[in-house]
């Protein structure tokens, strides 16, 4: 069954990210692109007041072209703000200015974004590109876990941010092995060894705690720490309370892993699957693994590639549709102006380029130029097709191994089928 709420969340995130990428690519010829951030509690008439001031200030701009462009942008924003009595629930960000389109072409463009989270700043800025940092921060992963793997010889730590494992660093110990050298007293050797182990654990605890506590907005975002290693080392480490108390009380669990170097981190995340259930990383990993398993079985239930997926969607044969969040493609309809011949195509989008830039095509029937009738993002288009047959849609990020494979090896479009179709 489809899970609309979660699907919508991933989709919104994808849309938002894509919009920011598009804005990022836009350039003005001078300092004439306006970024305006309005928090939810700001009065619109205060904003329009300031904009009128800025309009007056434009008289000081030396370049006539820049002056005209800034004034046009301000006028355009003012006319749009008329429709708002108050800012929307999360405030709004307005990006407006004359965009260079290459050659001698330019165009006045205005984009209004209602952000997914409340804006907490008011900002008016005029620059040669748009200021997007406050919105980009909203895309940052909110939930962070600390990862720590250890035995008596070495330890390694890092973070789990959404889907991504970020290795940080580790230490190795000089704890002597269990075999004592001849001539040493057993009791003395044992005691020295325990001291060395205690020192090593203390070092791990301090260093890992320092790294975890330094995480930005620790109290809001740091959801817990996972500890991996052989038994009874990890149990001993937990019992000894070597971690800072704020970290110690956030231990999610102890998990058996074989490696205690950098590769132990991903082993740890796999082992902690159940504890992390519900987290996106685990969900997406599981779906990708299901797909890869079907593919290996070679039973015809795994399909990939745009053409194959379209045929299977048509048949209503798709159980789960997997789309990479890295897809930047559009489905367009083009029509011949001369004979009316029309066809659909998929094109790859490049930042800063329009469909017309990318597409230079003539009619197959009469060789007259074709014009673009409609353009829709491919994720949106395929999702709409999928919705018609109650197909579950999963947008898979590319910042974990299996997710990256979806994009690089399968073109970003794959499916698990309800039955085999031969496509």
Binding residues (CB under 5 A) for Zn ion: these are 336, 338-339, 341, 363, 365-366, 368
Phi/psi of residue 351, nearest 5 degrees = -55, 135
In whole angstroms, how close is the CB of 336 to Zn ion at the nearest point? 3
Residue 172 or 362: the one with the smaller Cβ distance to Zn ion is 362
Residue with tokens 């504890």: 275
Residue 13 or 345: the one with the smaller Cβ distance to Zn ion is 345
Residue 149 or 370: the one with the smaller Cβ distance to Zn ion is 370
In whole angstroms, how close is the CB of 370 to Zn ion at the nearest point? 8
Spatial separation of the C-alpha atoms in residues 312 and 108, rounded to whole Å: 42
Listed in sequence order, the residues at least 6 apart from 14 whose beta carbon sits closer than 8 Å to its beta carbon are 325, 379, 395
Nearest-5° angle of CA 329, CA 128, CA 115? Answer: 55
In whole angstroms, how close is the CB of 143 to Zn ion at the nearest point? 54
Residue 279 or 363: the one with the smaller Cβ distance to Zn ion is 363
Helix (H) or strand (E) holding 111: strand 105-113
Pairing of strands 164-172, 105-113: unpaired
Listed in sequence order, the residues at least 6 apart from 73 whose beta carbon sits closer than 8 Å to its beta carbon are 32, 33, 34, 96, 97, 98, 108, 110
Residue 334 or 395: the one with the smaller Cβ distance to Zn ion is 334
In whole angstroms, how close is the CB of 334 to Zn ion at the nearest point? 10
Indicate the burial class of 83 (C-beta count within 10 angstroms; 0-12, 13-18, 19 or more).
exposed
In whole angstroms, how close is the CB of 332 to Zn ion at the nearest point? 16
Pairing of strands 222-229, 164-172: unpaired
Residue 258 or 368: the one with the smaller Cβ distance to Zn ion is 368
In whole angstroms, how close is the CB of 356 to Zn ion at the nearest point? 18
């Amino acid at each position: 069954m489809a899970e609309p709420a979660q699907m919508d969340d991933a989709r919104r995130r994808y849309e938002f990210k894509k919009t920011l990428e598009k804005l990022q690519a836009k350039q003005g010829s001078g300092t004439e692109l306006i970024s305006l951030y309005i928090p939810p509690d700001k009065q619109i008439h205060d904003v329009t007041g300031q904009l009128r001031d800025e309009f007056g200030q434009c008289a000081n701009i030396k370049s006539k072209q820049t002056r005209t462009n800034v004034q046009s942008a301000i006028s355009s924003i003012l006319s749009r703000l008329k429709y708002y009595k108050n800012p929307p629930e999360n405030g709004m960000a307005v990006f407006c200015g004359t965009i260079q389109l290459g050659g001698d072409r330019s165009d006045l463009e205005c984009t209004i974004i209602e952000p997914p989270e409340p804006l907490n700043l008011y900002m008016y800025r005029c620059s040669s590109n748009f200021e997007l940092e406050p919105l980009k921060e909203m895309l940052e992963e909110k939930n962070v876990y600390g990862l720590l793997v250890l035995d008596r010889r070495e330890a390694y730590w890092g973070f789990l941010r959404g889907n991504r494992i970020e290795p940080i660093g580790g230490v190795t110990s000089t704890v002597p092995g269990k075999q004592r050298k001849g001539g040493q007293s057993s009791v003395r050797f044992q005691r020295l060894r325990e001291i060395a182990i205690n020192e090593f654990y203390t070092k791990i605890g301090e260093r890992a705690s320092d790294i975890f506590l330094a995480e930005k907005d620790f109290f809001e975002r740091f959801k817990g720490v996972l500890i991996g290693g052989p038994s009874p080392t990890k149990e001993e480490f937990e019992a000894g309370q070597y971690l800072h108390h704020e970290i110690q009380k956030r231990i999610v669990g102890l998990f058996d892993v074989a490696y205690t170097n950098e590769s132990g981190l991903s082993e740890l995340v796999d082992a902690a699957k159940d504890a992390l259930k519900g987290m996106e990383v685990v969900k997406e990993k599981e779906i990708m693994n299901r797909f890869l398993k079907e593919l290996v079985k070679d039973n015809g239930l795994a399909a990939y590639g745009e053409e194959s997926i379209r045929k299977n969607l048509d048949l209503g044969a798709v159980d789960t549709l997997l789309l990479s969040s890295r897809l930047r493609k559009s489905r367009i309809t083009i029509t011949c102006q001369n004979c009316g011949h029309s066809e659909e195509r998929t094109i790859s989008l490049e930042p800063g380029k329009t469909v017309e830039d990318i597409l230079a095509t003539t009619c197959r029937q009469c060789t007259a130029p074709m014009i673009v009738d409609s353009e829709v993002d491919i994720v949106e288009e395929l999702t709409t097709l999928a919705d018609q047959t109650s197909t579950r849609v999963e947008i898979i990020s590319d910042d974990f191994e299996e997710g990256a494979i979806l994009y690089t090896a399968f073109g970003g479009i794959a499916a698990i089928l309800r039955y085999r179709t031969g496509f």
